[in-house]
């Protein structure tokens, strides 16, 4: 993938595939069981937000949560990719927020309904710049952190993922073709929490890439 601009993966991106509860401490902090196989959901590409634009509360939400995640950008098309070949399909990385309307999600969970609206409204996937694959030697040993108004809220390491990036690529592609520009959000570490209008979120992967977004106060 030649360009390092966010626009590149938005343009090519066919889908955003996200993983839930991929860190034990996060599953436990919300009182959920640690999964035995990956929990997969999708988000629309209209949910992408680039820096300089505010995150909006979706209608009916009063409990908006931050979730910082390592995003994988798929570099080439593949179906039923063996785990040992999965790394060849990584095109690059980015810092992502899987913004979640926790109250809407809890209501959906209670009723056995999908999470789509609680995870997929416009502005629910703030994303940083594309990071070339070669800039990261070991994606399974990266600090992943998030601050709100300067206070550290999430501070994890991708070494603590329950399902590795290679396993996830192989697992997801058993069911659906992955295409160049698709992205995989690999789940959030513990420390998720509520936000209010005017809050400023900073997040990053070690010192490799950093993002900054504000929450709409109108």
Ligand X SMILES: CC(=O)CC(=O)C(=O)O
Closest distance between Mg ion and the C-beta of residue 98, in Å?
A: 3
Closest distance between ligand X and the C-beta of residue 24, in Å?
A: 11
Closest distance between ligand X and the C-beta of residue 172, in Å?
A: 15
Nearer CB in complex with Mg ion: 8/190: 190
List all residues 6 or more positions away from 56 whose beta carbon is below 8 Å from its beta carbon: 121, 122, 123, 216
Closest CA to 165 of 145, 190, 142: 142
Which of the stretches 20-28, 83-91, 176-184, 209-217 binds ligand X when contact is defined by CB under 6 A? 20-28
Contacting ligand X (CB under 6 A), which of 21, 43, 66, 147? 21
Contacting Mg ion (CB under 5 A), which of 125, 166, 188, 209? 188
Q: Among ligand X, Mg ion, none, what binds residue 45 when CB lies within 5 to 8 Å by partner kind? A: none
Neighbours of 144 (CB within 10 A): 23
Q: Map tokens 């993922």 to a residue.
A: 161
DSSP 58: P
Q: Map tokens 């501070």 to a residue.
A: 155
Give residues 85-114 in contact with ligand X (rule: CB under 6 A). Answer: 98, 100
Residue 102: strand, helix, or coil: helix
Asked if 30 is part of the footprint of ligand X (rule: CB under 6 A), the reply reads yes
The tokens of 145 are what? 């952190």
Asked if 67 is part of the footprint of ligand X (rule: CB under 6 A), the reply reads yes
Contacting Mg ion (CB under 5 A), which of 57, 67, 72, 125? 67
Contacting ligand X (CB under 6 A), which of 188, 190, 205, 209? 188
- For 16, half-sphere exposure in the C-beta direction (CA atoms, 13 angstrom radius) is 29
Counts for the chain of helices (H) and strands (E), in that order: 5, 15
Closest distance between ligand X and the C-beta of residue 110, in Å?
A: 13
Closest CA to 41 of 103, 111, 118: 118
Closest distance between Mg ion and the C-beta of residue 64, in Å?
A: 13
List all residues 6 or more positions away from 28 whose beta carbon is below 8 Å from its beta carbon: 34, 190
List residues near Mg ion by CB under 5 A.
67, 98, 188
List residues near ligand X by CB under 6 A.
20-22, 26, 30, 67, 98, 100, 187-188
């Amino acid at each position: 993938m030649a360009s390092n601009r966010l626009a590149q993966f938005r343009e090519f991106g066919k889908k955003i595939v996200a993983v839930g509860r991929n860190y034990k401490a996060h599953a436990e902090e919300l009182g959920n069981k640690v999964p035995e196989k990956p929990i997969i959901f999708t988000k629309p590409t209209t949910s992408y937000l680039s820096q300089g634009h505010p995150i909006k509360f979706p209608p009916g939400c009063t409990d908006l949560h931050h979730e910082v995640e390592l995003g994988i950008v798929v570099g080439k098309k593949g179906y039923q990719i063996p785990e040992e070949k999965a790394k060849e399909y990584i095109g690059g990385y980015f810092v992502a927020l899987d913004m979640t309307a926790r109250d809407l999600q809890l209501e959906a969970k209670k009723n056995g309904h999908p999470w789509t609206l609680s995870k997929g409204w416009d502005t629910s996937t703030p994303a940083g710049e594309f990071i070339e694959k070669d800039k990261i030697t070991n994606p399974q040993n990266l600090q992943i952190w998030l601050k709100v108004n300067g206070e550290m809220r999430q501070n994890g390491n991708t070494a603590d993922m329950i399902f590795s990036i290679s396993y996830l690529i192989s697992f997801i592609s058993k069911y659906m073709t992955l295409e160049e520009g698709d992205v995989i959000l690999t789940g959030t570490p513990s420390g998720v929490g509520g936000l209010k209008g005017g809050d400023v979120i900073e997040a990053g992967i070690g010192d490799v890439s950093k993002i900054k977004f504000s929450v709409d106060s109108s």
